[in-house]
Amino acid sequence: MAPEFGTPTDLVLRSLLFAPGNRAEVLLKLPRSAPSAAVIDLEDAVPPDRKAEARTVTHEVAPALIGDVRLFVRVSATHTDHFATDVTDGLPPGLTGVVVPKLESIAAVDAASAALDAAGHPDLPIVAGLETVAGVVDARTVTTHPRVQWCYFGAEDYVADLGGVRTAANHEVATARAQVAQAARLGGIQAIDMVVIDFGDDERFQREATEARHLGFSGKLCIHPAQVPLAAAVFRPTADELSWATAVTEAYEAALARGDASVAVDGEMVDEPVVRRARALLADAG
């Protein structure tokens, strides 16, 4: 039986699993690891001379995928020669949304929205890629656009654009990650953290995912099915966190009933900001 999906705005993207658009045999395996959503990639994962083939494959495999997984397509960036054709020829019916990379301004989102509308996709929400210096610095202009419902931080493109050096320590992207998370919060949307290109390094993935969750990200980009359960585990509240959140909310509500606005719980002072955090954890477990 096909899974029951809510509306796109209800979709929490703890894992967003990508696969190349010209690899039908790989695309058909996307639902197996049960990601929050899957992405058929028409952009970086497809060589320039295979773009047309990838659009055709996308239409061929999409009907078999849409009943089993939330499905997105990542088109090429708006400034490229491939964008217009990706939009007109590469978006099958039934998608949850479209991933638009390297967005940097309101004007760029407006252009993407207009192209989607003209191609007959007026209701497709956008996952905005923030992966250039301009995109990160002006992230708020993108995340507050009404067509954008999710965003992601692309570290590899960002560092290449910056002219920096990519490292496993992530010091070179620390500020950018925080800026993207903040901009997402201001836009009231979810932020999805960067790819771990060494897909065999589970320890690094778990470390980065934990950092991202602490920063306010909702999930992580995945390029291998083995990364999906790692993301699912990290981005859900733990049993200890839920126990703490329950104790905090119950104690605070009892304090309010007594006319107090703060209360001590296990030696920690609890007031309204702490309770907001506890309630968010409980909501995230739903």
**Which tens digits make up the pLDDT trace of 129-169?**
999 999 999 999 999 999 999 999 999 999 999 999 999 99
**2 domain-assigned:** no
The set of residues, in sequence order, having a beta carbon less than 8 Å from that of 87 and lying 6+ positions away, is 75, 98, 115, 116, 119, 121
Same-domain pairing of 183 and 154: yes
**82 domain-assigned:** yes
Q: How many whole angstroms separate alpha carbon 91 and alpha carbon 70? A: 14
**160 domain-assigned:** yes
Span between the terminal Cα atoms of the chain, in Å: 22
**214 domain-assigned:** yes
In this predicted structure, what is the pLDDT of residue 212?
97
Is the pLDDT reported for residue 3 higher than 60? no
Q: pLDDT tens across 90-135, in order?
A: 999 999 999 999 999 999 999 999 999 999 999 999 999 999 999 9
Is the pLDDT reported for residue 264 higher than 90? no
Which range of residues forms the domain containing residue 259?
239-284
Same-domain pairing of 25 and 67: yes
Between 283 and 7, where is the model more confident?
283
Write the single-letter amino acid at 197. I
Q: pLDDT tens across 195-242, in order?
A: 999 999 999 999 999 999 999 999 999 999 999 999 999 998 877 787
Same-domain pairing of 86 and 160: yes
**3 domain-assigned:** no
Query: What string of H, E and C letters represents the secondary structure of 85-150?
Result: HHHHHCCCCCCCEEEECCCCCHHHHHHHHHHHHHCCCCCCCEEEEECCHHHHHCHHHHHCCCCEEE
